[in-house]
C-alpha cells in the first residue's frame, strides 16, 4: 500500500498474533515503553521489560498482571553503564534462545539536565547511553541463538 496509503494503521487490528514470540523493550516500565510492552503482551508475546528501577518495573508488571497479562519479565538494564548493558544482554541470552522483537525505547529526560551541564558533559552522557544500546545489541548479536533473528 505504500507510505501514503489512505488506510490508517490500527495496532489492535494490524498487529499479528505474537504467540510464541519473544520481545525486549528498553524503558518499558513507563510511558510509551509501558504501552508498547502492554500491546506486545496483549498480542501474545513474552516481553522482557528492560529498565533500571526494580520497584517501578515490579509495579508496572503487577499492573499488567492485573490486566491478565502474565508473560512479562523484568530485565535489569541501566543504559548509563555499558557494563550493566553487557550483563543484561548475557542474562537475556542465558534465559532465551530467540529474540523476535527488540525495541530500544529508553531515554533520559534532558529538559533541566541540559541547562545544568556543559555541552561536553551532555555529549559524554549521551555517548555513554548510545554505547550501552550498542553493547546490548552486540551482546544479543553474539549469541548465536539470537543472531538469525536480529539480522532479518
Instruction: Tell whether the model's pLDDT for residue 151 goes beyond 50.
Output: no
Distances from the Cα of 65 to the Cα of 44, 45, 96, 150, angstroms = 13, 14, 21, 28
- Give the residue among 81, 28, 86 at the shortest CA–CA distance from 58: 28
As a whole-number percent, the residues of the chain with pLDDT over 70 amount to: 67
CA angle, residues 23, 51, 81, in degrees to nearest 5 = 115
Give the C-alpha separation, 12 to 42, whole Å.
9
Of 3.90.320.10, 3.20.20.80, 3.40.50.720, 3.30.110.30, the CATH number of 17-143 is: 3.40.50.720
Q: Where are the domains of the chain?
A: 17-143
Q: What is the pLDDT of residues 61-113, one digit of tens each?
A: 999 999 999 999 999 988 777 788 788 888 998 999 888 988 887 665 555 55
Helix (H, G, I), strand (E, B) or coil at 50: strand
Host H or E run for residue 144: helix 144-151
Amino acid at each position: 500500500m505504500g507510505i501514503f496509503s489512505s488506510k490508517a494503521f490500527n495496532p489492535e487490528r494490524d498487529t499479528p498474533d505474537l504467540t510464541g514470540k519473544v520481545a525486549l523493550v528498553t524503558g518499558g516500565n513507563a510511558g510509551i515503553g509501558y504501552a508498547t510492552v502492554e500491546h506486545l503482551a496483549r498480542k501474545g508475546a513474552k516481553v522482557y521489560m528492560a529498565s533500571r528501577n526494580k520497584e517501578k518495573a515490579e509495579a508496572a508488571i503487577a499492573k499488567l498482571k492485573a490486566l491478565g497479562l502474565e508473560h512479562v519479565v523484568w530485565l535489569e538494564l541501566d543504559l548509563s553503564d555499558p557494563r550493566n548493558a553487557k550483563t543484561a544482554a548475557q542474562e537475556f541470552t542465558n534465559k532465551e534462545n530467540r529474540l523476535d522483537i527488540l525495541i530500544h525505547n529508553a531515554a533520559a529526560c534532558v529538559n533541566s539536565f541540559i541547562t545544568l551541564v556543559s555541552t561536553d558533559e551532555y555529549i559524554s552522557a549521551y555517548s555513554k547511553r548510545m554505547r550501552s544500546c550498542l553493547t546490548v545489541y552486540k551482546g544479543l548479536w553474539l549469541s548465536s541463538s539470537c543472531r538469525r533473528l536480529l539480522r532479518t
